[in-house]
Amino acid sequence: MLRFAVIPLALLLTACATTGSTATSSAPMMVADHPDARLAAALAAELEARAADPARVTPIRPEMDALAAAIWGQPNRAEPAVEPEAPEVIPPGQSLLYGVHIASYRTMDHVVQGWETMRAMLPDVLGPLQARVEAADLGGRGVYLRLKAGPFATRADALSACAELSQSAIYCQAMAFTGDPLEAESEN
């Protein structure tokens, strides 16, 4: 905030330096009737008073350097340039939603059959949810197709669904709701 207040002051000091006038002259300095101009004049007078004693200028030197850089286009020695932060990029395949991994199968036919069976067994929990399938390469164990149900807005909601599913002895793990929509659902 102090930097923004010092900018008008530096403008006034620049004007004084180019016209040769000083704040200590016997003639009163004319300042435009505007709050920014009055602030610049007051700050210029304060800086001029402090200039005689280096100990009073040293603490505000970074702000003075920043102001000089802003006015004269000089690089700011006091503060390194800060690059703007890049917006967060969600990698492909990531989701802002959560799902629950409820089973793994080797074939798509088994995925569809497993989803239909579990949904019929637990309509209150799985009925309103969508199913997705995602391939998971487990190295030496091979590639499995993960059956996921969701979406849930928060991880806590997914964990709550897992607690209900676990009571029915169904494996459940909360994770990102990624994968492809289950083909059987698009046909219904």
Check which CATH number belongs to the domain holding 134 and give it.
3.30.70
User: What pLDDT sits at residue 40?
Assistant: 74
Report the relative pairing of strands 143-152 and 173-176 from DSSP bridges: unpaired
Partnered with residue 176 across adjacent β-strands are 98
CA distance 137 to 38: 70
Q: Please check whether residues 28 and 107 belong to one and the same domain.
A: no
Q: Please check whether residues 51 and 111 belong to one and the same domain.
A: no
Q: Please check whether residues 112 and 177 belong to one and the same domain.
A: yes
> Domain count of the chain?
2
Partnered with residue 181 across adjacent β-strands are 132
User: What pLDDT sits at residue 63?
Assistant: 73
Q: Please check whether residues 68 and 102 belong to one and the same domain.
A: no
Domain presence at residue 85: no
R_g of the chain computed on alpha carbons: 34
Q: Please check whether residues 56 and 136 belong to one and the same domain.
A: no
Q: Please check whether residues 114 and 156 belong to one and the same domain.
A: yes
Domain carrying residue 59: 2-72
CA distance 29 to 56: 24
Domain presence at residue 126: yes
Query: What is the pLDDT tens value at each position of the chain, 188 positions in all?
Result: 445 555 555 554 555 444 444 444 445 556 677 777 777 777 777 778 777 887 887 777 777 776 666 667 755 555 555 556 655 554 555 667 899 999 999 999 999 999 999 999 999 999 999 999 999 998 999 999 999 999 999 999 999 999 999 998 999 999 999 999 997 544 44
Domain presence at residue 79: no
Q: Please check whether residues 36 and 103 belong to one and the same domain.
A: no
Task: Note if the bond before 151 is cis, omega within 30 degrees.
Answer: yes
Domain presence at residue 92: no
Domain presence at residue 21: yes
Query: What's the pTM?
Result: 0.49
User: What pLDDT sits at residue 100?
Assistant: 96
H or E element: which one contains 140?
none
Q: Please check whether residues 116 and 174 belong to one and the same domain.
A: yes
Residue 121 CA to its chain's centroid (Å): 42
> Which residues are CB-neighbours of 95 under 8 A, at least 6 positions away?
151, 176, 177, 178
Domain presence at residue 165: yes
Q: Burial level of 12, CB count in 10 A (0-12/13-18/19+)?
A: buried
CA distance 135 to 148: 11
Partnered with residue 135 across adjacent β-strands are 145
> End of a domain among 57, 72, 87?
72
Q: Please check whether residues 7 and 61 belong to one and the same domain.
A: yes
